[in-house]
């Protein structure tokens, strides 16, 4: 006997996430399957804050687009997938008008995922591929335990090309954020305060 599991949509996630018992939970949706996550911890939050600040200031100074934190994005023609990158950049040309109150119906140009101790790297890389297959140009996977960043791009829309940037390296905005550079050491200082 086959028991049909519920296939969720972005509308279902919006309703679930706004129930009082879920106010401290975060949700991703991949092909209709709902994934519940707990709020991020201190290192994760600090990294998200730093990255969003660096990109946000640059984007504002050059009038390039919008930066979001922990915001839901879904492909325009797929209401069964919803991802919430820790930080995201959406180019000015892609920013929806008016800016949505609910989830953003397009994938960001740059999605940034910060790996938490409870995350499986395999699952984070799966999310990176989903971003790239649905319109993102690049994904940064921040690895606090390795004090570095995986820069992910799509190869023929079928697999990930991953370049690891170490603590002494530099992240580049490429054609997404032209002339933007971020030293990885700004995220992971050699000596903690």
The beta-strand segments (E) located in the chain are 26-30, 33-37, 65-69, 87-91, 110-114, 138-143, 148-155, 159-165, 170-172, 181-183
Q: What is the mean pLDDT of residues 142-149?
A: 96
Length of the chain: 193
Global pTM? 0.92
pLDDT at 24: 83
Q: What does DSSP say about strands 148-155 and 159-165: parallel, antiparallel, or unpaired?
A: antiparallel
- Give SS3 for 25: coil
Whether 158 and 164 have beta carbons less than 8 Å apart is answered as no
Question: Does 191 have pLDDT greater than 60?
Answer: no
Question: Does 190 have pLDDT greater than 70?
Answer: no
Q: What is the mean pLDDT of residues 11-29?
A: 90
Question: Does 170 have pLDDT greater than 80?
Answer: yes
Q: What is the mean pLDDT of residues 19-46?
A: 89
Q: How confident is the model at residue 37 (pLDDT cuts 50, 70, 90)?
A: confident
Question: Does 1 have pLDDT greater than 60?
Answer: no
pLDDT tens string 77-135: 999 999 999 999 999 999 999 999 999 999 999 999 999 888 889 999 999 999 999 99
């Amino acid at each position: 006997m086959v028991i049909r599991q519920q296939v969720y949509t972005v509308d279902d996630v919006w309703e679930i996430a706004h129930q009082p018992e879920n106010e401290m939970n975060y949700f991703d949706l991949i092909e209709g399957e709902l994934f519940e996550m707990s709020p991020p911890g201190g290192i994760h939050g600090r990294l998200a804050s730093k990255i969003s600040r660096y990109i946000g200031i640059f984007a504002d100074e050059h009038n390039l687009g919008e930066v979001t934190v922990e915001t839901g994005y879904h492909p325009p023609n797929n209401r069964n997938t919803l991802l919430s990158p820790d930080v995201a950049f959406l180019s000015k040309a892609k920013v929806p008008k008016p800016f949505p109150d609910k989830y953003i119906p397009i994938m960001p140009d740059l999605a940034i995922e910060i790996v938490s101790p409870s995350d499986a790297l395999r699952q984070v890389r799966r999310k990176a591929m989903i971003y790239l297959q649905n319109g993102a140009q690049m994904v940064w996977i921040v690895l606090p335990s390795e004090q570095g960043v995986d820069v992910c791009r799509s190869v023929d829309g079928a697999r990930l090309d991953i370049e690891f940037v170490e603590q002494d390296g530099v992240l580049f905005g490429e054609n997404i954020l032209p002339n933007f550079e971020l030293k990885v050491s700004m995220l992971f200082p050699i000596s903690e305060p």
